[in-house]
Structure 1
Amino acid sequence: MDKNTLAEYLHSLDLNSTVMESECPYNYDPMRSERKCSFDQPYREIDGFCNNIKYPFRGSSNYPAQRFIPADYGDGLNEPRRSVKGEELPNARIISNAVLQTNPKNHSTVTNMMMIFGLLMDHEVAFASSPTGFMFGNVKCCNTGSAKLHPLCMKMDFPEDDAFFGQYKVTCMEVVRSLPAIDTDCPRNQNNDVTSYIDGSPIYGSTIEVNNRLRAFSRGELKVQQNSLNPRLKTLMPIANISTTNQCEMRRKAGPYKCFAAGDARANENSLLIVFHTLFFREHNRIAQSLQKINPRWNDERLYQESRRILIAEIQHICFKEFIPILLGQSNLEKFGLGLKNTGYFVGYNQEVDASVDHGFVTAAFRFGHSLIKNGFDCIELLRGREQGVPSYNEWREFCGLLRYRNWDDMRNHIIPSAIDGMRATYENVDDVDIFIGGVAEIVLRKNGAKESDGILGPTFSCIIGNQYKNFRYGDRFWYENDNSNIISHAFTPRQLQEIRKVRLSRVICDNSYTIDSISRNVFIKPDFE
């Protein structure tokens, strides 16, 4: 039986009492709970539970991601995607060197803020369960001295003459598969450890345990520490203990490294990301202090929840007002219904819309930020998509209603010419091309000659991201523009909503930074192009 036939009929099979029961549980919901939903709930649950009253676990943390199109595994169940001939796909590092290193794209109009805010938004909605890190130990896949690898290993071998790694005699990179979800579906799926909603989870966490460690439980504020260099300067995020984050554990053994505590374990990945976390931590406390002055009778819980609600609204507004229009362009805003209202309330909420993140969005399309910085590890995204059963570039083109390429010549006028040459040299068939490779190499749509009018992405990535962000907005019961009519019991008033609509990322930076005398109104665009 081929993999397509297997996938088609698998759901009709009762696997109870068979050896496959534990791998593909039949009619089993691991998320059963005694928790009940209520329309009168005034604030979001920290784990996203009951955002959707009809489907209470949708979009919640530790819940399986969704798929816009069916998974494509080599064996139909679990193994990484294979070529149309059933053979192993080309080495991801070789493809990266052949295609991405020759990519001449130049996003000269945008600042580094696009890349780092995009990373924050990626952490906002997606984090695949992993067996690595402090809690699980490290799964070793390279130089193990054993012919039999750990079943979660998916190591990447480098050719000896690799232009970069060859000079350091590095021939292998540790790549470990995401943990499979205990799901009602088979083939293999993966959990999302954070909430899929845009709800400030990098700041507040996606579990009550993490959230409680971050709260000061006084005046509605988050915990902070004084700046050790100068106590008169603005506060910093608190220092993490071992149980809070695994980001710095390996380094801590070799020296006095200290991690910042945040709602997301990846907050310490790089210095720019730490800056963004710090800005929003400070913004929460700035809001809480202002609310306390206006409402001195409010207790800590009320101050905290109202401050959190306002900060989430600010993040949603910045994302859709400043970030997404640059990313997708005006035509895609209209196509996917992403344009924000200037006055009044949004009336598009639909409980049938699933706001859970899609695998193609997480592993490929929203990794667009890698094209804004120096290439080097793009091969990991080629490989991660295969590992999670993400279908090929051509399959996504068809999903988006775009031309499906029959041969390499069909790519002309759609793909950067040097990238076509690289694909032709590494892939045997156009149907084998990985979605990340094809999406990154697409030519950006243009109008009026050389003037860009449709954002900074090609049509396939724009389609995937547009569909996902439409779900984030239309499937979020607590979306900041929603009103009280049979959706939520505690909405912003029209006057409050108009104040939120004034927020820009530049304002957040100015209010929570030192000695900044002036700044661009839109920090995502270089001043010469505003």
Structure 2
Amino acid sequence: MKYFVILVTLSRVSCIIYDTFTGREVALQRRMSNSTQDLLDGLSLFYQIRPWCTIDVPECSPYEPRRVDGTCNNLRFPTRGATFTPYHRLLPPNHSTFGGLRTSTSGEPLPNARKLRVSLISDGRVHNKYYTQLVTNQLLMITGDITSAHDTINYIVVTTTCCFPGGALNPTCMPIEVPFNDIHLRESGIRCLNLTRALTYQRFGCAPISLPPERINTSPPLLDISNMYGINSIGVDQSRLKVDGLLRFEVDKGKEWPPNGAPICLANELPQETYCYNGGNPGLNAPLGIQLVGLWHFRSHNQIARILAQMNPCWGDERLFLTARDINLALYQHITYYELMPEVLGYKLLLKNQVIYETNGHVDDYDDSVEPRVSIEYVIATRWFHTLQEGRLQLFDNQGKFLNELDMTDYTLRTGALRVNNTVEGVTQGAFREPCAGNDLYVDPEIGERILGPLQRASDVSSSDIMKGRDVGLPSYNRYRELCHLPIANTFDDLYQWMPKDQVDVISRSYESVEDVDLLAGIMVERPLPGAMVGPTLACIMIDQLLRWRRSDRFWYENSIHAGSFTQEQLYEIRKMTIARLICDHGDSVDSIQPYAFVLPNYRNEITDCSNIPALNWDVWRDSSCNNNPQNSTITQLNTTQNV
């Protein structure tokens, strides 16, 4: 890596204030007194009035490395890529009057989301015949990386009364009525599922109410593992040990973990379960899939930092941290693009659309006219993968012997359970031995009826997802087919061409017009493309975002346009990384695994010793100017056994 570090001392006064919604510079500081104290007093008042509406950004330099808070990735739009970056829209929003939920073309309410979901995709348990739990774990990790969970926390913890008498009158509520004859809940006495509307820029006074409401996102929108490192410079700073580029850690059974102490593990069963991730972002304590993948990348960072420090003793903490983080992000991005997404979307489709490339060199496709943002359509539409989630966690030992089965939904916000009774060892083995749910027209009962486990008595994630699409004003399914240059349905009968008959019949009975069909309802029942898990409409939305991520990220690992880019030799090593190698190096009690770990073991993908899984040669990161001792000259591969 042609890496360098610019250490710039920037005072609060040298920052420029930007409006988070528009991304434009706020003129307020230009009108203030030249007095430093007057300026600071004015800025303090400004932040108190609109704390989520502004972001201060030290002036950008084209020669500095990737900032930990995501600012200055795009020199034309310095705030885009940081926290509070608004969602991108593929199509203009379609709300009812005054920003209300989308309605039918006649103005009537759209069909009941719970009744629609149960009719379209019923509860059922069918194992996937090809893919492992790792597919949904990695998809969850991406979701946790690029979106914030504050809206979910709102209806779980804060606004819990939407189903109470009069609760539906609360403008922040959108409860889901459960029909009295609901096939799954009719004997439960539950007639309503609590749900709230998204927090918006308008609600916080950050955008005019005359504009359509836009959901706030407190997570940076790029693929930067912010749910582990932190969403801003404060969180990242909190996560750091400030020694040798390391993240703060504690040790349990010889393995590193983020430090304990976050207060959000509401489902921990005391007194045995007391641990809760408290690194740069407590959001890592979310669903179990995020906990696992985040833990592996946490350990990966520290292992990389130690190798770099040993090879290059003249490097200081800052350079070691930034370089280790850049390499760690590159490994994460590479696994996502070149290993996961070919299974989800198909290798040939990705290659055709220039999402991935068959090359050993750099790929310089950065475009500074593309803002670093994530589309709201991607966020809502990819919630399709909830239908792939398996509701049961199967635990295995390292010889593949089945040990136990747990309810997956009981382990959200329950990180403390991982370190009790060898749970983390068992679920790590299960991640690459257990199949995910089938890619079919069923949703696991644990996902469909109690996705939030003990945090809510009943919660249907797919019904909630349909409502969230209406809340943010996503236009109809037909409009996205049109956007993607796909045939549209002029009548319900046209849907038979790309959907199963039973599901088309449900849609025709549920909606007044084919123009009313919800995007997510259509996506969930589209027939998959050949060689892919998803249908053409979702594939189109995902490809748009995958292109946006790589082309809008000035520091994307494959390009060579910035001073800190990887050399071709370093890029060659990064391209060796697989999810199997990551788990071998950082999983608990893993000494063997199948080479393609997103795919179930089979006769062409047999479980093999970790020594047979390709590893990186770290010599390409050696800095010859450090005058290393001879003992440091033999570090060529990442040690698969973590010694602390």
Q: 1:391 aligns with which of 455, 475, 484?
A: 475
Determine the C-alpha separation between the residues in 2 that align with 1:91 and 1:406. Answer: 23
Larger Rg: 2
Q: 1:526 aligns to what? A: 600
> Unpaired segments of 5 or more residues in structure 1?
1-10, 12-28, 447-452
User: Is 1:72 matched up with 2:94?
Assistant: yes
Please, what is the CA RMSD of the aligned residues? 2.6
- Structure 1 residues 354 and 104, CA, compared in 2 at 3 Å: closer, same or farther? farther
Determine the C-alpha separation between the residues in 1 that align with 2:591 and 2:363. Answer: 36
Determine the C-alpha separation between the residues in 1 that align with 2:179 and 2:272. Answer: 34
Alignment of structure 1 residues 102-501 onto 2, 5 Å:
107-127=128-148, 129-130=150-151, 132=153, 138-146=158-166, 149-181=169-201, 182-183=206-207, 186-227=211-252, 230=253, 233-242=254-263, 246=264, 248-249=265-266, 257-373=274-390, 374=444, 375-376=447-448, 377-446=461-530, 453=531, 455-484=532-561, 488-501=562-575
SS of 1:62's equivalent?
A: coil
Determine the C-alpha separation between the residues in 1 that align with 2:212 and 2:178. Answer: 30
Determine the C-alpha separation between the residues in 2 that align with 1:124 and 1:338. Answer: 20
- Does structure 1 retain, via aligned residues, the 8 Å contact 2:523–2:535? yes
For residue 338 of structure 1, report the CA deviation from its aligned partner: 0.8
C-alpha deviations, 1:301-343, integer Å up to 9, x for none?
1111111010000001111110111111133213421113431
Determine the C-alpha separation between the residues in 1 that align with 2:154 and 2:469. Answer: 21
C-alpha deviations, 1:111-165, integer Å up to 9, x for none?
111111001011111226538459x961133343446743211111111232223
- Structure 1 residues 274 and 106, CA, compared in 2 at 3 Å: closer, same or farther? closer
SS of 2:131's equivalent?
A: coil
- Structure 1 residues 178 and 240, CA, compared in 2 at 3 Å: closer, same or farther? farther
TM-score (norm 1): 0.85
SS of 1:235's equivalent?
A: strand
Determine the C-alpha separation between the residues in 2 that align with 1:147 and 1:323. Answer: 42
> Unpaired segments of 5 or more residues in structure 2?
1-21, 23-51, 391-443, 449-460, 606-644
For residue 32 of structure 1, report the CA deviation from its aligned partner: 6.3
Determine the C-alpha separation between the residues in 1 that align with 2:586 and 2:271. Answer: 33
C-alpha deviations, 1:217-250, integer Å up to 9, x for none?
12211112221xx3xx2122221333xxx4x247
For residue 252 of structure 1, report the CA deviation from its aligned partner: 8.2
Alignment of structure 1 residues 5-16 onto 2, 5 Å:
none
For residue 212 of structure 1, report the CA deviation from its aligned partner: 1.9
For residue 408 of structure 1, report the CA deviation from its aligned partner: 1.4
C-alpha deviations, 1:441-483, integer Å up to 9, x for none?
001123xxxxxx2x11100000000000000011110000111
Please identify, of 81-90 and 188-197, the stretch whose mean Cα deviation from structure 2 is larger: 188-197
Please identify, of 163-172 and 490-499, the stretch whose mean Cα deviation from structure 2 is larger: 163-172
For residue 497 of structure 1, report the CA deviation from its aligned partner: 1.0
- Does structure 2 retain, via aligned residues, the 8 Å contact 1:381–1:436? yes
Q: 1:18 aligns to what? A: none
Amino acid aligned to 1:500:
I
Determine the C-alpha separation between the residues in 1 that align with 2:269 and 2:591. Answer: 37
Q: 1:35 aligns with which of 34, 41, 58?
A: 58
- Does structure 1 retain, via aligned residues, the 8 Å contact 2:230–2:236? yes
- Does structure 2 retain, via aligned residues, the 8 Å contact 1:400–1:460? yes
For residue 175 of structure 1, report the CA deviation from its aligned partner: 0.7
Q: 1:87 aligns to what? A: 108
Determine the C-alpha separation between the residues in 1 that align with 2:129 and 2:374. Answer: 30
- Structure 1 residues 197 and 397, CA, compared in 2 at 3 Å: closer, same or farther? same
SS of 1:110's equivalent?
A: strand
TM-score (norm 2): 0.70
SS of 1:179's equivalent?
A: coil
Q: 1:25 aligns to what? A: none
Determine the C-alpha separation between the residues in 1 that align with 2:184 and 2:276. Answer: 30
Q: 1:4 aligns to what? A: none
For residue 300 of structure 1, report the CA deviation from its aligned partner: 1.4
Determine the C-alpha separation between the residues in 2 that align with 1:263 and 1:424. Answer: 48
Q: 2:83 aligns to what? A: 61
Determine the C-alpha separation between the residues in 1 that align with 2:599 and 2:333. Answer: 19
SS of 2:255's equivalent?
A: coil
For residue 369 of structure 1, report the CA deviation from its aligned partner: 4.0
Count of equivalent residues: 482
Paired-residue identity, %: 29
Determine the C-alpha separation between the residues in 2 that align with 1:283 and 1:483. Answer: 24
Determine the C-alpha separation between the residues in 1 that align with 2:152 and 2:503. Answer: 35
For residue 259 of structure 1, report the CA deviation from its aligned partner: 1.9
Determine the C-alpha separation between the residues in 2 that align with 1:89 and 1:311. Answer: 45
For residue 254 of structure 1, report the CA deviation from its aligned partner: 10
C-alpha deviations, 1:343-383, integer Å up to 9, x for none?
11111110011231111110123543434442512111100
- Does structure 2 retain, via aligned residues, the 8 Å contact 1:103–1:418? no
Q: 1:450 aligns to what? A: none
- Structure 1 residues 430 and 372, CA, compared in 2 at 3 Å: closer, same or farther? farther
In terms of fraction of residues, the more strand-rich structure is 2
- Structure 1 residues 120 and 148, CA, compared in 2 at 3 Å: closer, same or farther? closer
